[in-house]
Structure 1
Amino acid sequence: MQRFFKPLRALGLGLLLGAAPLAAAHGEKNHADKDPTLFSGLESGAGKTVLAFHRALREGDQQTVMDALADAVVIFEGGGVERSASEYAGHHLPADMAFLKQMNITQRELQVREQGDLAYAYGRAQVQGEFKGKALDLQSMETLVLARTGDGWKIVHVHWSSK
């Protein structure tokens, strides 16, 4: 796995800007009527992994979420960091899935770019709904970095933010 993290430096810190808590989790939902230039790369191998990850988060499918994540994934969310898939599964994943099930998510942009054995995805979404008695209307942003492995594309870094 170490060989996948070295090339991340080449992508630069600008790539790791930011993304949506609980993400623009996202997905392909509600983007058919949007500008097609804001949605690209979804048919690629990395794009399919991103879409499966988004769908699984929304549907509460923990196994598919875990299958999409590298064991050593690093997740930046809500000002915190989780440094493995198992740490995420034991902490924020159940809450993220519960939250997303209650939200209406309109994906505004989702682009995936493959560059050799690395890929990145970035997206923006409108997240609306009620959670724990509070009405929410959030703009969420997401950046994902993926690495091609013997088991297909795996997400090695997630950065979610919203306002």
Structure 2
Amino acid sequence: MFRNKIQTLSAISLGLALLSPVSALAHGNEKPAAPALFVGESTAAAQAVKAFHQALRAGDAKAVRAMLADDVLIVEGNGVERSADEYASHHMLADMKFMAAVQVEALEHQTKVLGKVAYSVSRSQLTGDYKGKPVDVISKETLVLVDTGAGWKIVHVHWSH
């Protein structure tokens, strides 16, 4: 009886071993599907993100400020700003001037809505000149938004180059 179990297990193992190369060959020429780089673009949260970017490029300080939660946390480089008012009084104008001076090519933008919270992750190619210096960087951005019932507000920003 023990010998029959060993023979059965050996036959199963041999069968699996023989099928593995066939399976590998059957899929060997196929390339894995490319990940979708633009996801969730039609959601209200993604539209709020796009409006935020447009307001920054247009230099519309009032609109930018209105899209940020009062207690927004903004992390950029080594700096942290802990409110919309702090951002408005420090880096917002410089960010608007910079964004107006460069060309932006979206490389990837994914927005995921999880109930009343959403996050947006994007990569963009920024090129041009700013303050007499050439700009050619890949910008990475993560935004966290909350649905207030009256629209989406940005509660967290992380920018890096």
Larger Rg over CA atoms? 2
Give the Cα–Cα distance (whole angstroms) in 2 for the partners of residues 54 and 40 of structure 1. 17
The structure whose RCO (Cα within 8 Å, separation 6+) is larger is 1
More helix by share: 2
- State the aligned residue count: 128
Please give the residue correspondences for 1:1-80 in structure 2 after superposition, counting only pairs within 5 Å. Answer: 37-80=36-79
Residue 36 of structure 2 aligns to a residue whose secondary structure is helix
Pairs within 5 Å for 1:83-122: 83-122=82-121
Report what 1:145 is aligned to.
Answer: 144
Separation (CA, whole Å) in 1 of partners of 2:66 and 2:42: 19
Using structure 1 for the length normalisation, give the TM-score. 0.75
- SS of 2:41's equivalent in the other structure is coil
Separation in 1, partners of 2:124, 2:157: 15
The separation in 1 between residues aligned to 2:82 and 2:39, in whole angstroms, is 29
User: Residue type matched to 2:137 in 1?
Assistant: L
Matched AA of 1:93: M
Quote the Cα distance in structure 1 between the aligned partners of 2:107 and 2:67.
22
Q: Supply the distance in 2 between the matched residues of 1:150 and 1:66 (Cα, whole angstroms).
A: 18
Shift of 1:78: 2.1
- 1:74, 1:135 → 2: CA distance? 29
> Unmatched 5+ residue regions in structure 1?
1-34
Answer whether contact 1:42 1:51 (CA < 8 A) is retained: no
Deviation at 1:37, TM superposition (A): 2.4
Residue in structure 2 matched with residue 20 of structure 1 by the alignment: none
Q: Structure 2: any 5+ residue segments left out of the alignment?
A: 1-33
Q: Percent identity?
A: 52
Structure 2 counterpart SS, 1:150:
coil
CA shift for structure 1 position 151: 2.2
Tell me how far 1:150 sits from its aligned partner: 2.9
Distance (whole Å) between structure 2 residues aligned to residue 156 and residue 81 of structure 1:
13
- Superposition pairs for residues 129-140 of structure 1, below 5 Å? 129-140=128-139
CA distance in 2, matches of 1:102, 1:44: 28
